[in-house]
Structure 1
Amino acid sequence: MSENRVVQGRMVTPKRLAELIEGEDVMDAESIEDTDRACPECGGDVIEVGYMPSITEFVTGYKCQDCDWAATDREE
């Protein structure tokens, strides 16, 4: 179910992708999904993952597969 993806040349699990976006450990993550968005920095493909950074919070995170750009729905 939880499909791994290549991000910046490395294979990542949904939980690892969430940790890259959040900058710290997360409790749980859902599967990685494609988006129809292009990265605002490099134009690369953006993927998303829903995750729980804490027991009381659910966040959708977005990450470019080609560069360092990342964002969450907290920032939108």
Structure 2
Amino acid sequence: MADNRVVEGRMVTPKKLAERIEGDSIMDAEGIEDANFDCPDCGENVLAVGYMPSVTSFYTGYKCQECPWSDIEE
């Protein structure tokens, strides 16, 4: 598990990465991991981060390191 990673040319923390995926502020995030699949848009590496947008929810967010593609698994 890595603490910070480069995404689209910027260093992000797990919480910042989750907020980029969610499009809003979140409560908490776990460490950033490699998602073990390539971006469907550009073929580059995808990162995964588990996070809590609210007290009762836990999602896994996916974000390409090189392009704007992202996805959420509830």
TM-score by length of 2: 0.96
- Local SS of the residue matching 1:15: helix
What CA RMSD, in Å, does the superposition of the two structures yield over aligned residues? 1.1
* Equivalenced residues, count: 74
Identity between Structure 1 and Structure 2 (%):
62
TM-score by length of 1: 0.93
User: Which is strand-richer, 1 or 2?
Assistant: 2
> 2:54 corresponds to which residue?
54
Q: Which runs of 5 or more residues in structure 2 are unaligned? A: none
> 1:41 corresponds to which residue?
41
Q: Tell me the CA shift for residue 27 of structure 1.
A: 0.2
Deviations 1:1-54 (A, max 9, x none): 761000000000000000000000000000000121000000010000000000
Question: Structure 1 segments of 4 or more deviating over 4 A?
Answer: none
Q: Which runs of 5 or more residues in structure 1 are unaligned? A: none
Residue identity matched to 1:58: F
